Amino acid sequence: MKRIVHAACPHDCPDGCAVLITEEDGRATKIEGDPEHPITRGFLCGKVAKYLDRVYSPDRVLHPMRRVAKKGSHGDGAFQRITWDQAFDEIVSRLKQISSEFGPEAVLPYSYGGNIGVLNGASMDRRFFHRLGASQLHRSICSQAGEDAIISVYGRKMGTEPEQFRHSKYIIAWAANIHGNNIHLWPFIEEARRDGAKLVVIDPYRTRTARIADWHIPINPGTDVALLWA
């Protein structure tokens, strides 16, 4: 049997792509962007387009593995397969040992969105670490500076609808490699540029976006605030 499954990309990414997965005899055989979706437009980024290679890779880790060799060692003898119960017991005993010896704040949670979803990434994990008494810190390793800036100006975090970019006259990409990291926004920017819009990129790096911009301003790292004030 062959069927097409409508799905969505699970990555924590601005694009939120609509995905079509071809399934044959219980196995996914093809993944592609939904051509009917106004943002996805039938194409996926290079990472998700190769998703099936990862899912069905013979090197994919499917079971808990304990390191038995020195860190940095590789090969068949570096890890040993253990059961799920053994893995849970080892993690629990290690957390208890650290908490008993150094206090629970010696446990430092470190994670972000990735593709773990809202349930795992912004609720249940918080409850677990709060109950444990672990160190509390801001967990974002991504875009907090930009989010705080948006809140200071607009009062809440909200973005511009991608379709609205086609009406722009002047687009500033500040430390944003749109052409490489937000590819489904790019067609709307190109549409605006065809109507006369200018694209300015402010970035120390000469990114893919910077190379094709109308103006690239390669500021020195750490001088963003000085440029803003100017």
Instruction: Give 1-20 pLDDT, tens digit per residue.
Output: 899 999 999 887 777 899 99
Identify the domain containing residue 36 by its residue range: 2-55
pLDDT at 144 over 70: yes
- As a whole number of angstroms, the distance between CA 192 and CA 125 comes to 42
**Does residue 222 share a domain with residue 169?**
yes
Strands (DSSP E) found in the chain = 2-8, 18-24, 27-33, 65-67, 79-81, 170-174, 198-202, 215-217
**Does residue 159 share a domain with residue 208?**
yes
Which residues lie below 8 Å from residue 124, measured CB to CB, with a gap of 6+?
none
Mean local confidence (pLDDT), 47-51: 92
CATH number at residue 22: 2.20.25.90
**Confidence at residue 117, expressed as pLDDT on a 0 to 100 scale:** 67
DSSP string for 40-83: TTT---HHHHTHHHHHT-TT---S-EEE-S-TT--STTSEEE--
**Does residue 76 share a domain with residue 117?**
no
**Does residue 40 share a domain with residue 68?**
no
- As a whole number of angstroms, the distance between CA 7 and CA 21 comes to 7
Mean local confidence (pLDDT), 60-77: 87
Instruction: Give 184-221 pLDDT, tens digit per residue.
Output: 999 999 999 999 999 999 999 999 999 999 999 999 99
**Does residue 217 share a domain with residue 189?**
yes
- CA 224, 226, 230: angle at the middle one, nearest 5? 115
pLDDT at 169 over 70: yes
**Does residue 44 share a domain with residue 10?**
yes
- As a whole number of angstroms, the distance between CA 136 and CA 126 comes to 9
pLDDT at 69 over 70: yes
pLDDT at 77 over 90: no
Instruction: Give 93-132 pLDDT, tens digit per residue.
Output: 999 999 999 999 999 987 777 777 666 667 788 888 999 9
Mean local confidence (pLDDT), 38-66: 93
CATH number at residue 201: 3.40.228.10
**Does residue 212 share a domain with residue 154?**
yes
**Does residue 135 share a domain with residue 93?**
no
**Does residue 128 share a domain with residue 112?**
yes
**Does residue 138 share a domain with residue 148?**
no
Whole-number percent of the chain with pLDDT over 70: 97
**Where does a domain end: 86, 119, 142?**
142
pLDDT at 177 over 90: yes
User: Residue 214 is encoded by which pair of tokens?
Assistant: 């109308």
**Does residue 186 share a domain with residue 163?**
yes
Closest by CA to 140, choosing from 183, 110, 169, 160, is: 110
User: How many domains, the chain?
Assistant: 4
